[in-house]
């Protein structure tokens, strides 16, 4: 009995709850202004693996469930929670932002450091095993998979600001996004 009480106290300390007195609007404001920026800090340069996608989605939906006053035991679909709260999937926000950064890189004048880093190939020995996916390869695969822009035309299309912005606005959520 004492052990259960101690365990509950520890959970309260490590898993702070959203205050029940706050309105849903205030909780969503906290989500948009604090939680999302902290969770996605530096996301423009991430190489998204399935593991990373899964973790981001789990963290996002954990917070949104608390905002909606639901738990996993309620067995409510994630898409229904997002629809009820009027929130777009965080993975969609990340992908749009990453592709937006690519457009910014494509329009950059030559000689700028970010553009040089983008085109640089590392030299020297690397550790055994499968090489890590480079951001350049990841982003070209993402553009091909999500926007059907062929890799050989990618920098040309991304360089046209109006076209690229319209493609980003039309980007739908991932089909497998729960």
**Where exactly are the structural domains of the chain?**
1-87, 89-119+135-173
Identify the pLDDT of residue 177. 61
Identify the pLDDT of residue 18. 63
- Asked if residue 99 lies in contact with residue 139, where contact means CB atoms within 8 angstroms, the answer is yes
One digit per residue, pLDDT tens: the chain, 178 residues? 555 666 565 555 554 566 678 899 999 999 999 999 999 999 999 999 999 999 999 999 999 999 999 999 999 999 999 999 999 999 999 999 999 999 999 999 999 999 899 888 888 888 899 988 999 999 999 999 999 999 999 999 999 999 999 999 999 888 766 5
């Amino acid at each position: 009995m004492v052990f259960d009480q101690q365990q509950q106290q520890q959970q309260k300390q490590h898993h702070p709850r959203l205050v029940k007195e706050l309105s849903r609007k205030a909780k969503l404001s906290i989500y948009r202004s604090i939680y999302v920026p902290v969770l996605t800090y530096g996301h423009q340069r991430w190489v998204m693996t399935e593991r990373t996608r899964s973790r981001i989605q789990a963290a996002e939906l954990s917070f949104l469930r608390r905002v909606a006053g639901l738990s996993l035991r309620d067995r409510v679909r994630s898409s229904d929670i997002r629809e009820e709260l009027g929130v777009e999937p965080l993975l969609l926000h990340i992908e749009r932002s990453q592709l937006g950064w690519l457009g910014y890189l494509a329009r950059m004048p030559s000689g700028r450091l970010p553009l040089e880093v983008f085109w640089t190939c590392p030299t020297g020995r690397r550790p055994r095993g499968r090489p890590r996916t480079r951001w350049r390869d990841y982003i070209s695969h993402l553009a091909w998979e999500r926007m059907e822009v062929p890799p050989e035309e990618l920098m040309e299309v991304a360089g046209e600001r109006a076209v690229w912005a319209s493609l980003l606005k039309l980007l739908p959520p991932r089909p497998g996004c729960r």
